[in-house]
Structure 1
């Protein structure tokens, strides 16, 4: 949904609420979304959400920096975070203050933009460093959230903290999980209405995934919806919750697991949340089933690997769509769900677009969950031939698996080779961007394949529950690199243009009204390309590899571009954690061994602007 559509939705629904009207169900509360946050996202001078807006479009209407003058971009100022691990996410800008976060220990800085970035306050949580040992793929954190004068910090140890944005004082805190069981946090949260929506990490430890809503006022729990298990714990109505237009049926999750495996079944929720205020639905994805050895968990393993649409007031599910039933490759389904209004086959539709780890780009109707498009966004993808798009078929909506690349059919202790994509997917969590000017999505991708050998593993709380050995390498018969930055037409399911990169593109993209798209590379380059053609217009090498997400804001009439650099994350875990064994980092260390020839550890914010 574009910002103009968001404004229209806000106005219409505030009017409807005041008149007692309702579009879904009974009369709604006076405010259908956090009014303050809606107003802030409509101001392009600020950057108040990690994904730019509720729709997750990472698009800015600022155009002072444009395709004609971006070649003149210069470094305006920098800030050291003091932490040498992977820096994901981005700063927030609210008014004249920038809020910067770090990986563990999750320090927060408030910087005064009127005074050369002077530190107004800092907050460093007191966390048990043992939590680092149960964090899957680096100590990353994807950033702060803001609403109504409060910053929300979800720490690595799962403590959710509400900080006074002016002073940094703690207003309240609540513990969302237990690191002793492998429950941790790496992702941001989303304030919606009077609640804040929170996920959980730990799928590699047999954690049972869930999403929780806490009341913004005091941190009390409003509801919790599990990804697996009985309907009452998943907040599923078997008659009203749908899958591809049909009722999900009673206890659909329980029937897809053997015995009580769902209790350690994964489906964690460490990705992104988006929200449509008109439909009044929150969207997110669930991660891989546990263990990675598929022979130990027969069945579809519902509802791991699933896009979920839920009512933010009650948590009750409106619809599900499982992208990779009975996952055999660790293709977590947690990537962002972008909300746009576009025309398909001559009809304007309210769409949800998802670029899944499994290599397929999905376009769905976000109100009903109807599947409209499912196509490969990297031609190297080979584990499945296609997704069955015939509604009359018994396998409707399911990927058609190629037996050669089925890690279960090949058996335990058998090394299945040449599977594309690798476990880190054709795209991991690094968020895409959408430009309403071009109608295209800009997607940072991985062009990586793998060998995958499952083995039998037993569950012990707080211990790794993986059950597979992996190795990774560039996709064959291509440009030899490990990444591409692509423009995607989600209505047609086609690549508009593609830029090869030496390594995976692990940075979140930013599109602007200046007809440019920004992204970062693992070597540390900030790049700007033409949004229509992909022509490179600018590059600058920052001190360390970029896995952060590019953002923009305006201050005192001047537009700025900001990005965190600090190599790490899954792709850079070898550098970040000092690992050298090729199979460490769940196979990433060997695949990205050459990265150390191009960058080193760091932790810095770099801010760019045009010269005066």
Structure 2
């Protein structure tokens, strides 16, 4: 049968225009400050709200107005969503989801309770956390611990589609928040401590059909990299850029996991995310730069092809995963307006890059205690341009042999882990929750067995020298690479920050306090102790003309794994149990959403 070309053209045009309208609608929803429709708050990962009803002058009057118990213990990371009159709340394993009616005192409209094999729990590194949900196309997207990506009907909670993204039997798990981009939903994978070969995967947002898959290490074709078109620091990466930096076929258990946050620039049509540590933690067993672990990736969301990459910690010896958020902002550097990507890496350096091409503009320590490297080489004519200058004393390998190193700063959990920063366009500053923690590191030889830990190191953690505080909440100038102000905290600041147009910045503490500080000075304006330690991300929304601030409390995560899992061996939890032993004197397990507002 012959079909007129005009009809084909009309159908094709209609399909494209429908997709474009859907994308435009999603962008408008994300830009509406009354809602919070994706886990990152916005595509740019700035976690900034234009709401200003709560401001630096009245925030001291904030009060809790309602709360909700999730019924689940362990660590509550991430934040709820608000879409119109409905709030969506998630939990750690077993990853229940609740839809709450904001018009009816938080009445439960529906709940989703997945049936997952509890055998996934032992292969979840650093607690059974989940970093949140996202909304698009009338669906709520959930990345379950067992790697099942689920699309739930936002009105009913019924499963629209689901797809298995990995295999827990070999250590693959799901902890990251899905990110909807155009007609796809992107999701990463966890499992670096089990020798998983990790990747970023895109699925069709309507059907769940696989669209593309991009590995972090391996042959170019499986990395979705072009040897001549994909660049690092302005130069083509060349053929076999990954495999030739591993010994033999070690890349097959290479790690490079993608359990962090994803950013998207609609104008450039590029997504950005980071990869984690190479496996094993023992560097002696994997000579070479181990590309592309510890790397920032910039990719085309349509086909997954990599535009540029930048490896921050070649041949990682300390577990400095590069998965932290990549906020996208436009600011002036040296008088020139630039499209920037800012990244606060686990390794203690804050990087500012031109997100159009990956040019490295700034790389400075955002905690003075960082000592494993003196600086990042910024000389573009140097053969080591862009690489950190490692201090031999703090290396965990010397002359091809294991070295038991002491006093390394930061510890493996980094100067900052996944807890996301916030940016205010009003001040031009980033607000960063940090860890002020160091470690002793003892590597040992380990053999790979699918589904078994593939770590190869014993750690001890302790506060950085010069004080007893294990954390700071800082304001950072990314154009200069300077700390503007710093508020010390007794424990690591493991919650995500929120900046608002009211010149207030919110964050939570491991003891359980929600805190509000002045965006310009860092002065504490308000605090309230919630039922459990906070490792969740603070969010805000407006309903019926009233602004609310909400946060999940429920101690856990890597820093709180001792409490969450009942561990007492100081070396357990990859060294965190001993370092955070005193936390049990201040808080206990719980899972509660607390919502705040000004008095009516």
1:452 and 1:333 mapped to 2: Cα distance?
19
Distance 1:33 1:207 in 2: 35
* Residue 511 of structure 2 is aligned to residue 523 of structure 1: yes
Q: Within 5 Å, give how 1:305-324 maps onto structure 2.
A: 305-324=294-313
User: 1:103 deviation in Å?
Assistant: 0.2
Alpha-carbon contact 1:352-1:366 (below 8 Å) kept = yes
Cα 1:315–1:33 shift into 2, 3 Å: farther
Cα distance, 1:608 vs structure 2:
0.2
Task: Indicate yes or no: 2:60 matched with 1:76.
Answer: no
Distance in 2 separating the partners of 1:346 and 1:63: 30
* Unmatched segments (≥5 aa) in structure 1: 1-26
TM (norm. structure 2) is 0.97
| d(CA) in 2 for partners of 1:46, 1:129 | 34
Structure 1 residues 272-287: aligned runs within 5 Å: 272-287=261-276
Does residue 295 of structure 1 match 2:284?
Answer: yes
Question: Equivalent residues in 2 for 1:345-494 (5 A)?
Answer: 345-409=334-398, 414-477=403-466, 479-494=467-482
Q: Measure, in 1, the Cα distance between the counterparts of 2:308 and 2:503.
A: 35
The CA deviation string for residues 242-290 of structure 1, in whole angstroms up to 9 with x for no partner, is 0000101011001100000000000010000000000000000000000
Q: 578-587 vs 408-417, which deviates more?
A: 408-417
Match of 2:5 in 1: none
Does residue 556 (structure 1) correspond to residue 544 (structure 2)? The answer is yes
Q: Is the 8 A contact 1:36 1:147 kept in 2?
A: no
**Contact residue 193 and residue 454 of structure 2 kept, 8 A:** yes
* 1:88 corresponds to which of 61, 64, 77: 77
Q: 1:81 to 1:260 in 2, by over 3 A?
A: same
Q: 2:249 aligned with 1:260, yes or no?
A: yes
- Decide whether the 8 Å contact of 1:309 with 1:318 is kept in 2: yes
Which of 313, 317, 323 in structure 2 is aligned with 1:328? Answer: 317
Q: Give how far 1:415 is off.
A: 2.1
TM-fit CA distance, 1:33:
8.0
**Equivalent residue, structure 2, for 1:248:** 237
2:498 match = 510
Note the C-alpha offset of 1:80: 0.1
- Pick the aligned partner of 2:591 from 596, 599, 603: 603
- Structure 2 residue runs of 5 or longer lacking an equivalent are 1-15
Displacement, 1:337? 0.2
Give SS of 1:337's match. coil
Contact 2:228 2:236 in 1 (8 A): yes
Q: 1:480, CA displacement in angstroms?
A: 1.4
State which drifts further: 40-49 or 342-351.
Answer: 40-49
Q: How does 1:68-147 map to 2 (within 5 A)?
A: 68-147=57-136
The alpha-carbon deviation at position 35 of structure 1 amounts to 2.1
* Equivalent residue in structure 2 for 1:213, among 199, 202, 216: 202
The aligned residue for residue 152 of structure 1 is 141
RMSD: 1.4
Q: Is the 8 A contact 2:50 2:501 kept in 1?
A: yes
SS of match in other structure, 1:31:
helix
Q: Summarize the Cα distance change of 1:470–1:32 in structure 2 as closer, same or farther, 3 Å threshold.
A: farther
Q: Distance in 2 between matches of 1:120 and 1:32?
A: 29
CA distance in 2 between counterparts of 1:231 and 1:29 reads: 34
Shift of 1:358: 0.1
**Displacement of 1:191:** 0.5
Find 1:589's aligned residue among 570, 577, 596. 577
Separation in 2 of the partners of 1:557 and 1:31?
Answer: 31
Q: Secondary structure at the match of 1:212?
A: strand
**1:57 lines up with 2:43 in the alignment:** no
Report which stretch shifted further, 47-56 or 336-345.
Answer: 47-56
Between the aligned partners of 1:371 and 1:352, the Cα distance in structure 2 is 10
Distance 1:42 1:211 in 2: 26
Q: Does 1:579 align with 2:600?
A: no
Partner of residue 174 from structure 2, selected from 185, 189, 193: 185
How many residues in Structure 1 have an aligned counterpart in Structure 2?
Answer: 587
SS of the residue corresponding to residue 34 of structure 1 reads helix
How far apart, in 1, do the equivalents of 2:37 and 2:252 lie? 36
Give the distance between the partners of 1:185 and 1:584, measured in 2 at CA.
22
In the alignment, which residue of structure 2 is the partner of 1:3? none
**SS at 1:68 equivalent:** coil
Equivalent-residue separation in structure 1 for 2:596 and 2:288 (angstroms) = 51
User: Are 1:387 and 1:397, in contact at CA under 8 Å, matched by a contact in 2?
Assistant: yes
Moved over 6 A (4+): 27-30
Inter-partner Cα distance in structure 2 for 1:122 and 1:141: 17
TM-score, normalised by the number of residues in structure 1:
0.95
CA distance in 1 between counterparts of 2:265 and 2:130 reads 25
Q: Paired residue for 2:212?
A: 223
Structure 2: how far apart are the matches of 1:33 and 1:575?
Answer: 44
Kept in 1: contact 2:377–2:386 (CA 8 A): yes
2:9 equivalent in structure 1 = none
Partner Cα distance (2:399, 2:463) in 1: 23
String of CA shifts for 1:333-381, please: whole Å, max 9, x gaps: 0000000000000000000000000000000000100000000000000
The verdict on how the C-alpha distance between 1:242 and 1:578 changes in structure 2, with shifts beyond 3 A counting, is: same
| CA positional deviation for 1:31 | 2.7
Determine if the alignment matches structure 1 residue 535 to structure 2 residue 523. Answer: yes
The 10-residue stretch of structure 1 (166-175 or 31-40) with the greater mean CA deviation from structure 2: 31-40
Q: Please state how far the C-alpha of 1:217 moved relative to its aligned partner.
A: 1.2
Q: What residue is the counterpart of 1:496 in the other structure?
A: 484
Contact 1:411 1:454 in 2 (8 A): no
Aligned counterparts of 2:519 and 2:328: Cα–Cα separation in 1 = 19
